[in-house]
Structure formats: structure tokens, C-alpha cells
A = this chain, B = another copy of it.
Amino acid sequence: MASSVAVENLNPKVLKCEYAVRGEIVIHAQRLQQQLQNQPGSLPFHEILYCNIGNPQSLGQQPVTFFREVLALCDHPYLLQREEIKSLFSADSISRAKQILALIPGRATGAYSHSQGIKGLRDAIAAGITARDGFPANADDIFLTDGASPGVHLMMQLLIRNEKDGILVPIPQYPLYSASIALHGGALVPYYLNESTGWGLEISDVKKQLEDARSRGIDVRALVVINPGNPTGQVLAEENQYDIVKFCKNEGLVLLADEVYQENIYVDDKKFHSFKKIVRSLGYGEDLPLVSYQSVSKGYYGECGKRGGYMEITGFSAPVREQIYKISSVNLCSNITGQILASLVMNPPKAGDESYASYQAEKDRILTSLARRAKALEDAFNNLEGITCNKAEGAMYLFPRINLPQKAIDAANAANKAPDAFYALRLLESTGIVVVPGSGFGQVPGTWHFRCTILPQEEKIPAIISRFKVFHEAFMAEHRD
């Protein structure tokens, strides 16, 4: 008998799953990059510019020195015995590495840890959360994870029994959510962010979608909120957050709060408030199940490759928590380097530490530059015919809307592509710029968008804008109705 494995007999949930951030356009971009290497000059551009993914260091952002000093010392603790390191490492990175090693049983950074992560590092993270929120956090509530994604999968795996279990997800959304719900065989219940109010989250719409889903027999189990928004970049107002929490409590929903962009805020009139803080401010305790996700991949640190992150879990009963622990334990633990880094980003150098001034300068330089880049790109998009673009108040993305002429839509249909995918593909082939079509995130039917990161290096932004403009004008001229 020949092998019986074929696409036709794979798990249909896998076949159904889509993940546009690394989908067709990106695979095509990788092919073009190969072509540029093998036949330089064979394309109308000299480099591929990956604006498809929030991956700052791939576009030249430098890691924060203090964090890397500590990681290097923890990776090779023998260095701590040598005098020479005093001229190579900051004093506080040396003392921090010693502190961290003392928290790790046997100083063994190469050992599996407790499945929730090293207890001492969870204590440090809990202290960081407490300082951030002004409400206590507890190490027992922290589960360290390899980036935020595995924590999202874990909760979907826990909550979804079958296709009648639904999860409320903002549209547009980060496609990890739709992918994870598809992989676990649940129902994505969409609620729509209001583009005309800067991607506002309206409880009335959430309620309507919830009721509609329930009327179709869907058992809606959780509400996902992404704040700051991905791909939409909005920052929720505190009042809005209170309403969301009350709504989840009233409706018996788990609140899954994706807060990985908590350090990425670019406007003076908005501030990040964790949902944990909101819940505690309302006096809710164990009666509102809340999962807050954080990651070392975002913020000003942008350490995507380290795969560090955590979820803070509150409001679940002990037997449910035991199940969460059990699933975590099957994978033994998250990587220790990522665990250490998660403890560092939640407890960076403080005033008085030797590294403080340089750390603060690195942080400020990155965040102020991101704010300038966001504004420059937003203005540039708004200056193009048929494009409107909300402000990026936070996160790492703009999500401009393109009003495509009918002729472009017809051409896309003829090519068997979504119109925004057609546009993004043409953009790539003309300019080397990689964006993700809005259809990968979800959008109001009949509207078209793309997600573009604000991450290219600042000195490249003017050239990107001008390449984009030339392409867009030609595209619109070609397809004018």
C-alpha cells in the first residue's frame, strides 16, 4: 500500500485555518528575494521591504543593551567569575544576572523549569504588574509562554468543545485568533470595530453579535479584546474598558485581553490601562475570568526571536486552573531565555542604576521614532487618491482603507483574488513592499484595506512613501473607471 497521507485526508480544521501574516503574499516575496539574490537587477527594485509583520529587529531596530547584557551573562555564568567583564558589562547588568541566577534552582538556565516558569521570575513579573497597575499581582497567576501565541492556543483549546462554542473577536483582528479558533474547531463570532470613529469598540454592536450568535445556538464563551489594537492601532478609552468588563461579567464571558502592545502608545491623550487594573478598580475578583497576554516581542524591546511572554490568569476556579496547568505541563516549560527576558521587560533599569540613562535613551529613541514614522506614513496614505487612514495611536501598524475603482475589483475577480490581495500583490511586484491584505484580518464586507507596519527604519520612510505613491498613482490610473 502506498502512503495514505494526502491533503484530502488531513484534519479539515488544519485545512480551514488561514494565517495571512505569513501567507501567499509573503511566500511570493520570499521567492522574489531569492530572485534578487540570484539575478540582481532582474526586478524593478533592489530589496524586499517586509512591512507585513511586527518584527522590528528584522528591519534594523537594535536590541536594548541592558537586556542583552543580562542574557549573555545568564547564558554563560562562568563570565561572572572573571574580572575582565567589568569593562565589558554595566555594573547593574552584572548584579541583575547574579540576582536572576540566584532565583533559578541550581543556577541551571539549561534545565526545564516549573511548567508555569521559574517561580522567582514570576515573582519579579508580578512585582512589575503591581507597579504598573497599583493593584497586587500574584506569581501563581503567571504562566510564562514562548511568546503570546501559545497562551492564546491554550485558552482556545481549553474553552472550545465543538463548532457550537463561539469566541467573540474584533474585526479587523490579528489572524492568530481566527487561525486558533479554526484549528480548535470553534466558531468565530465577529464584532465590528467602527472605522469612522477611529476603530471604536461599541458595546452595542458586541451585544448585538452576541445575541445573534446565541440565537443561532452558539454558546459564546469568551471575548477577545486587542488593546492597543492590531491591525487597527487604536487605544481604548478607560470608560470603554469599564463597559467591556461589565459586559463580560454580565454575560458570563471569559475576557481574553491581548495587551502585547502595552508599551507602544504614540499619542499624548491616550494611556494604556490593563484590563486587570480595570477589573480590580471595579472591585471584581474571582468572578470575572480574565487572561492578560504580554510578550517580549513588542514594546520598545521588539525581541520577537526570543519567544518570551506570559499570561496572567485571574478569576478562574481552582479546578479550571489545574487543567490550565496540566496543558502547560505537557509541553514542560517555555524557554528560559524568554522567561528571563520577560522578567526584565517588566522590571527594566530604574533611576539610580548605572544603565538607567542609556536604557532610557534607547527606549525613548525607539518610541519617539516609531511615533514619527507612524505619523509620516499616516499622512502619506491620507494624501493618496482613494485612501483614508486612521491614526495609529498605538501598536505597530496602520490599516488604511482603499476605495478601489470597479475596474480594479473586476481585474481582481478575473485573477481569482480578493481585491485587496490583488492590490497588495501588485504593490509587491512593483515596489518590493510587503503589506498584508485586509481580507486576512477581516473587514466590513465591501471595504478593502491593507496592514502596513510602521517599522521600516526612519531614514527609509521617505523613499518608501515615494515608491508607494508612484505605484498607487499608476495603479489607480490603470484601473480608473
Contact = CB atoms under 8 A, between A and B. Distances in A.
Interface of A: 1-7, 9-15, 17-19, 21-23, 30, 53, 55-60, 63, 65, 68-69, 71-73, 75-76, 78-79, 82, 84-85, 87-88, 105-106, 108-115, 146-147, 149-150, 153, 157-161, 176, 179-180, 183-184, 221, 249-254, 287-289, 297, 302-307, 315-317, 319-320, 323, 326-327, 329-338
Given A108-B58, A157-B183, A338-B335, A15 B306 contact: no
A197 B111 CA distance: 34
Given A71-B75, A149-B330, A11 B302 contact: no
Contact of A183 (B19, B75, B88, B330): B330
Given A73-B72, A327-B14, A79 B88 contact: yes
A248 B244 CA distance: 54
A112 B58 contact: yes
A4 B110 contact: no
A63 B53 CA distance: 35
Contact of A110 (B1, B161, B306): B306
Contacts of A338: 335
Contacts of A149: 330-332
A5 B159 contact: yes
Contacts of A85: 88
10 contacts: A3-B315, A7-B317, A7-B323, A17-B330, A57-B108, A72-B72, A110-B305, A112-B305, A147-B331, A149-B332
A83 B12 CA distance: 57
A3 B287 contact: yes
A58 B106 contact: yes
Contacts of A329: 19, 21-23
Nearest to A73: B72
- Identify the interface centre among A3, A6, A19, A315: most chain B CB within 10 Å of its CB: A3
A306 to B, nearest CB: 6
Contacts of A19: 326, 329-330
Contacts of A110: 57, 63, 302-306
Contact of A335 (B15, B111, B176, B305): B305
A11 B88 contact: no
Contacts of A330: 17, 19, 149, 176, 179-180, 183
Contact of A112 (B7, B55, B221): B55
Contacts of A160: 11
Contact of A75 (B18, B58, B68, B326): B68
A79 B18 CA distance: 41
Closest 7 CB pairs of A and B: A72-B76, A58-B111, A305-B336, A307-B335, A22-B329, A1-B252, A4-B252
A8 to B, nearest CB: 9
B5 A320 contact: yes
A42 to B, nearest CB: 20
A68 B76 contact: yes
Contacts of A327: 14, 17, 183
Contacts of A288: 3
Nearest to A220: B4
A328 to B, nearest CB: 9
Given A250-B1, A303-B110, A9 B69 contact: no
Contacts of A306: 110, 335-337
A236 B108 CA distance: 32
A331 B334 CA distance: 14
Nearest to A328: B22
A56 B108 CA distance: 10
Contacts of A221: 4-5
A75 B78 CA distance: 15
A359 B295 CA distance: 36
Contacts of A76: 68-69, 71-72
Contacts of A23: 329
Contacts of A176: 330
B11 A158 contact: yes
B319 A333 contact: no
Contact of A334 (B6, B307, B332): B307
